Structure 1
Amino acid sequence: MHREQLHEKVCHHLQTIYADVSLSMPVGQLAETLMDTIGLHRDDDITPPAPHSNQWNEEDVVMITYGDSVVREAEHPLKTLDHFLHTYCRNTINKVHILPFFPYSSDDGFSVIDYSSVNESLGDWDDIESLSKDYGLMFDLVINHCSARSGWFDNFIKNDGPGSDFFYTASPSDDLSMVTRPRVSPLLRETQCEDGVKYVWCTFSHDQVDFDFRNPKVLIAFVEIIRLYIDKGAKLFRLDAVAFLWKVIGTNCINLPQTHEMIRLLRTLIEHVDPGIIIITETNIPNRENLTYFGNANEAHAIYNFSLPPLLVNTLVTGDCTYLKNWMMSMPPAQNGTTYFNFIASHDGIGLRPAEGLLSDEEISTLVHSMQRFGGKVSWRSSDHGQQKPYEINITLFEACQGTNKGPDKFQVDRFICAHAIMLGMEGIPGLYIHSLVGTGNDYEKVANTGQNRSINRKRWDFDELAALLDSPYSQHHKVLTRLSQLIRIRKAQRAFHPNATQYTLQLGEAVFGYWRQSLDRKQSVFCVSNISDTEQAVLLSDINLIGTDHWIDLISRAPIDNLSNFLQLKPYQTVWISNQDWE
């Protein structure tokens, strides 16, 4: 009986998505095809997933990495990555986001040539499946576009075979003035095909050609890909650039209702195959729009907290947490079955669109200037009025923390650790970029070699060179990894740091940022308090509102907090996690 109900639900999704499209097959037939393709066959016992179920807890920490961020001669980089994880991330990392590891032609993997195979330069499916035995793996589903060198696009040009009708085209005479663009390249790519010139839609670059999901064959192809990835060990799916998926001429072509319904459809299919799989939407857009991807706990399980990186970096370089605090108070608690994915560094830069409406243009300009002073680059986009606006800052987080708006200073490591301490205690699942974990600096050589600003934060480490630095107690890399590993291990032991535990923002002035977390069973409280300035700060313990009958301890330093009428002295960029000791 449940299969009939599931079929009805899938049909409802499809009717909503394709309401304005003439389909080549009945909706019921398409629903059956999708269910069979994902592996929900007629004779299967299909159990609906429990609603509002959290498939995560405080022990979940994700490392974000390329398949070849660490390499060693005569070894598949994916095997080297496995060795790195076992050597340096034991008892800290339990989930790994391996950025696109498929054959590609540009954008460091996000211009996929073949979705069904592993890039030979990285390894093979056996290497992926080996990693999946020890870590929950996040796979990228690069769903908006593929490489112009893919077999599908070759068939599009030839007008023959699979892919011949997979791509979105428009006319230069169409009104495209409202289309939201993340890049400055022309939107349409003139392409000579067997049946004439066509103008192919390219949201990101002319090597990244956009799919036309009005054609249900594209949807079927991606459901086949999803099934393959599940079979190969995927436990998290990152839907890359999904906000741009559906296009309607005359609109802004971003966040359209059909896009949201498509995500709901994919969730319905995936969670009936494995209710433990998590869907994360990568939507680098203003904060209020980003929040819509939770749906009503029926869309993304998790959304990237894109506003956190620019707001946190701005906080640390200005010594003023006002904007971060105001934003945090405005963020709705994620209901059970949904959560935030927190990160402060990634393979991309520090996105500035999610700061729009939170920071003024002048404040963004000051932030950009400071990051350029620290060796950062800037990527630009065209605004709705054709103006050039900064789209993201390209810099490693370690270098972004080298000083304040006044210039570089001696607090780089402490400021960097403070940033992570704030992120690790927050509501949500934390994600740490491998280059933050090991304190990597700006890679200017790679920028020069590729001509791409984003390469500044995509260094490829020789494993033996990195290992020597990580094993040396005097290197910045050793200090960073040691201190971050300590924070992660502490985090994983606290029930108050469950991604859905209660969070309340504290009011401790401009220079001190704080929030309170309480475990779901209400037995443990942790007060997370950080000095985000370059001068010592004194906080009256009574202002934090610690309960006098409890015993309190700083989980990081292990120092007891005794006299609650005293002041708490915080060194520049020091964080304390004050917990009641009877939480166990």
Structure 2
Amino acid sequence: MSPLSEQLLERVEHHISAIYHENPLGADLEGLAQALIESIGASPEGAGAFQHINHWSQRDAILITYGDSLQNDNEKPLVTLRHFLDDHTAGLLSGVHILPFYPWSSDDGFAIIDYSSVNDALGDWNDIGAIASSYDLMADLVINHCSSRSIWFENFLRSTSPGKDYFFTVNPEQDLSAVVRPRTTPLLREVMTAQGPQHVWCTFGHDQVDLDFRNPEVLKQFVSIIHQYLKAGVKIFRLDAIAFLWKVPGGSCLNLEETHEIVRLLRTLLEHTAPDTLLITETNIPNRENLSYFGNANEAHCIYNFSLPPLLVNSLVTGDCTYLKQWMMSMPPAQNGTTYFNFIASHDGIGLRPAEGLLSNTELDTLIDTMQAFGGHVSYRTLDDGGRKPYEINISLFDALRGTTRGEDELGVERFICAHAIMLALEGIPGIYIHSLLGTRNDYERADNTGSYRAINRHQWNYDNLVSLLGDATSNHARVFAAIKALLAIRQRQAAFHPNATQFTLHLGASLFGFWRQSVDRRQSIFCINNVTPREHSVALSDINLISTQEWSDLISGDHYTPDDSEVVISPYQSVWISNAPDYEA
């Protein structure tokens, strides 16, 4: 064995020893390390050089969508999605996150029956490959649980392999009151197996049964799945619900050290297999806990910026950016090799746990009341005392921003575009939910038909009807679509919008949310100033320290500023990106 091969084996063994330090199943740790390396096809060369490299730029933006959000007669939805990307977003989106496209039994894809197949209703692996050939493909690795209809769980019930020891079971007499829950359903489900009754652990619901990573065979299965997805063209892996992965009954069973070590292990294996592949952790938890998944630039490449949606929506409906500004000042700049994944809408809802400690209870109550007035619903989670607490708000972003705490108004489109201008200018990679790109409204019928509050923001468009609406310049869908595409086009050309470029929060009062971005080589500065109120405001140029000897212009409107100008007047919900070097791409 070469010295480099020995180093790789030692590194993987180190991760495994930390994960299985108690080794309850008597695993052969050295043999397991070798098996994982062989399963994924890892190579000993070159990984160290990639750990602190940024595999992204200001040209990156990712569309988030279900595989069947767009539907066309006599055509598989994945083919329709490819047509939409090519025909309507060409050159503006670097990647696409197709939400679980595997056979599933519930939770709109997140209860997976078979990890190795594509849901036939969507298309096949060739359709996935066609998209991956032109776009960076993000896929979900639903690693915490799988469907109760999977062959693994059926084998668990029969006490046969593979699956016999794959699921987390517990004595129901144990004290599980400290377990952090994202749902109100009972944590345990009693099932009858060939060995008698067992109580399986179900974090999210009784059809989604938690896997037991104390069994190294489960880890081996998922490394093999990663290898298959790499061969299919997946470039970005979204680790779904990763924070709940490792369990030790008696505690919170959230963010345990073994979970972090598994993320480190997966990153090591990927660095030695496909070094430009990214790991993104999906951890809908309080902000400080979320930040921990960066590790020391050795865990996730990107973390979902979960606190951004509730704080930004709160700012725009209250007309006060104080809480958003306070949070932003507390956020550490991401090290090279890591960055934030920014989003303001998703297939789920507006998470409220990430706002804990950032918004007061009064602010949260007002936000919830406002969203309900705009047609939204509230989902709850169970507390350790048996009570319930709001977990997320279910509403389309367009409807969430159709008014303020005072009620609905005529500035919804402007408010909506302002939200995206803020998100697109922030440090990090932007992720844009397809229904935000299209300005989709609440789908009450789908929510009623499915019995799921989350379905309110999971509309399925008839493709021909959608294209017709996008061609009508007077429709809100067309206005939103054109505005976001224009912002994306501007963003791509600015070095100061690199995901790791410098970011500094400006202090312009509660009505103007401002921040400064500077390119890595310091040649381009952009002052991003956003009016979060329905009233006109002005900002003195002296307050943002524009250098008077340079020429400055707004990248969005094209307006120019001279040393004779004393202030900038900003209309309700207007955003300005004032730069000294427009279209500087470094």
How many Å separate the matches in 1 of 2:48 and 2:165? 35
The yes-or-no answer on 1:285 pairing with 2:270 is: no
* AA of the residue aligned to 1:69: S
- Cα distance, 1:48 vs structure 2: 3.8
| Equivalent position of 2:33 in the other structure | 31
| Equivalent position of 1:491 in the other structure | 491
| Equivalent position of 1:313 in the other structure | 313
How many Å separate the matches in 1 of 2:151 and 2:97? 26
How many Å separate the matches in 1 of 2:546 and 2:389? 45
Matches within 5 A, 1:197-346: 197-346=197-346
| Equivalent position of 1:569 in the other structure | 569
- Cα distance, 1:548 vs structure 2: 1.1
| Equivalent position of 1:519 in the other structure | 519
- Cα distance, 1:564 vs structure 2: 5.7
SS in structure 2 of the partner of residue 299 of structure 1? coil
The yes-or-no answer on 1:579 pairing with 2:564 is: no
SS in structure 1 of the partner of residue 489 of structure 2? helix
Matches within 5 A, 1:415-454: 415-454=415-454
Number of equivalent positions: 582
1:383-417 CA-partner distances (Å, limit 9, x unpaired): 23322111000000000010000000010000000
The yes-or-no answer on 1:380 pairing with 2:362 is: no
- Cα distance, 1:40 vs structure 2: 2.5
How many Å separate the matches in 1 of 2:563 and 2:379? 51
* AA of the residue aligned to 2:222: F
| Equivalent position of 1:150 in the other structure | 150
How many Å separate the matches in 2 of 1:386 and 1:98? 36
Change (3 A) 1:6 1:433: same
Q: Is the 8 A contact 1:3 1:46 kept in 2?
A: no
| Equivalent position of 2:14 in the other structure | 12
SS in structure 2 of the partner of residue 260 of structure 1? helix
Pairwise CA RMSD = 1.0
Q: Is the 8 A contact 1:542 1:565 kept in 2?
A: no
Q: Is the 8 A contact 2:525 2:581 kept in 1?
A: no
Q: Is the 8 A contact 1:2 1:46 kept in 2?
A: no
How many Å separate the matches in 2 of 1:266 and 1:524? 37
How many Å separate the matches in 2 of 1:407 and 1:45? 60
Question: TM-score by structure 1 length?
Answer: 0.98
The yes-or-no answer on 1:348 pairing with 2:341 is: no
1:355-410 CA-partner distances (Å, limit 9, x unpaired): 00000111101100000000001101112332211100000000001000000001
* AA of the residue aligned to 1:406: R
SS in structure 2 of the partner of residue 52 of structure 1? coil
Matches within 5 A, 1:39-58: 39-40=41-42, 47-58=47-58
Question: TM-score by structure 2 length?
Answer: 0.98
How many Å separate the matches in 2 of 1:3 and 1:560? 58
How many Å separate the matches in 1 of 2:363 and 2:45? 56
1:262-321 CA-partner distances (Å, limit 9, x unpaired): 000010001110110010000000000000000000000000000000000000000000
How many Å separate the matches in 2 of 1:91 and 1:563? 36
- Cα distance, 1:142 vs structure 2: 0.1
| Equivalent position of 1:472 in the other structure | 472
| Equivalent position of 2:540 in the other structure | 540
* AA of the residue aligned to 2:57: N
How many Å separate the matches in 2 of 1:40 and 1:334? 27
Q: Which runs of 5+ in 1 are unaligned?
A: none
How many Å separate the matches in 2 of 1:388 and 1:249? 21
How many Å separate the matches in 2 of 1:91 and 1:323? 35
How many Å separate the matches in 1 of 2:235 and 2:344? 22
How many Å separate the matches in 2 of 1:391 and 1:414? 28
1:322-357 CA-partner distances (Å, limit 9, x unpaired): 000000000000011100000000000000000000
Q: Is the 8 A contact 2:548 2:563 kept in 1?
A: no
* AA of the residue aligned to 2:6: E
* AA of the residue aligned to 2:539: V
Q: Is the 8 A contact 2:45 2:272 kept in 1?
A: no
How many Å separate the matches in 1 of 2:24 and 2:255? 22
Q: Is the 8 A contact 2:350 2:394 kept in 1?
A: yes
* AA of the residue aligned to 1:36: E
- Cα distance, 1:23 vs structure 2: 3.8
How many Å separate the matches in 2 of 1:581 and 1:179? 52
- Cα distance, 1:88 vs structure 2: 1.2
Most deviating of 446-455 and 18-27: 18-27
* AA of the residue aligned to 1:17: I
Percent identity for Structure 1 against Structure 2: 59
